[in-house]
Amino acid sequence: MRVLGLETAGEQGCVGLVDDDRPLCDLVFEATMAHGEKLLPAVEAALALAGLSKRDLDLIAVSRGPGSFTGLRIGLATAQGLARALGIPLVGVSGFEVYCRKAAHWPGPVWVLLPDRRDWLYASAFHRGREILAPRVLARDELLARLRAGGATEGKALLIGPGVEAHREAFGAVSGDGVVLAPRSLNLPSGVEIARLGREGFARRGRDERYELEPLYVQEPPIRASTRSPIPGRRRAVSPAPA
């Protein structure tokens, strides 16, 4: 099965191709505020490097995030358009799963960190592939406090994902006996891993998500949501006055 994997959740986009489990191409590109301009040319370049055409594809897999709302919408819309035009299935993949897979052989807890705005992070934790902390939004300082306190799971904690690169200097304060920071090479997005996870998920569930796929939304903590300023120009819903 030839699978195209797409990532547009962060400042770096990625396009990957696999043939069953064999990687064919993995292109990473800078795409800050420019996913719409660069994604389709990157798809064409990846196909050309692999010696394939769009008609050779059997499945499309796309990251559902979490991440940039605009970037995710561009990725999902592009993936849905391609899948519908080619008449092939589409599946979504959690961004947390991608980095958890990269750390599959780590013996201790794995914190997958994806950047949100400023000093906030999307975070989830795993141990030997099993989720031990459900996805949530955490302030960087709160996460640092948790890491200093340690946890019930034995072993050094590995921090992995683009959120590590966004705050590498701050996380350096807890790096040492109890915490290890993944190298930059492991914190890059991977279209190949998205494609592999998509293929495995489709083989298990056989579910085509062309017409129902949505981004992965993570609940914000109440204190953050309550202090956010209203969006300029957006009207509030108003209940009708009693008759």
| CA atoms of 77 and 90, how far apart (whole Å) | 11
Q: Do domains 2-94+188-222 and 96-187 have the same CATH topology?
A: yes
Are residues 191 and 17 in contact, defined by beta-carbon separation less than 8 angstroms? yes
Write down the pLDDT at residue 151: 53
Cα–Cα distance list, 139 to 115, 123, 158, 232 (Å): 11, 10, 18, 25
What is the C-alpha end-to-end distance of the chain, expressed in Å?
62
pLDDT at residue number 226 = 53
The structure tokens 């509030």 sit at 236
Spell out, as residue ranges, where the chain has pLDDT lower than 70: 33, 151-154, 221-243
Locate 130 and state its tokens: 């099993």
Check residue 238 and give its pLDDT: 32
CATH number for region 2-94+188-222 = 3.30.420.40
Beta strand 130-139 pairing with 2-7: unpaired
Token pair 């141990």 in the structure block, residue: 127
Q: What is the pLDDT of residue 78?
A: 96
CA nearest neighbour of 7 among 98, 83, 85: 98
Domain ranges of the chain: 2-94+188-222, 96-187
**Reduced to 3 DSSP states, what percent helix, strand and coil does the chain have, rounded to the nearest 5?**
35, 25, 35
Q: Which CATH class is domain 96-187?
A: alpha beta
Residue 128 to residues 117, 132, 190, 225, Cα–Cα distance (Å): 29, 10, 20, 33
**pLDDT on residue 176:** 83
Sign of CA dihedral 122, 156, 131, 201: positive
Paired tokens of 94: 């959690």
| Residue 226: Cβ within 10 Å count | 8
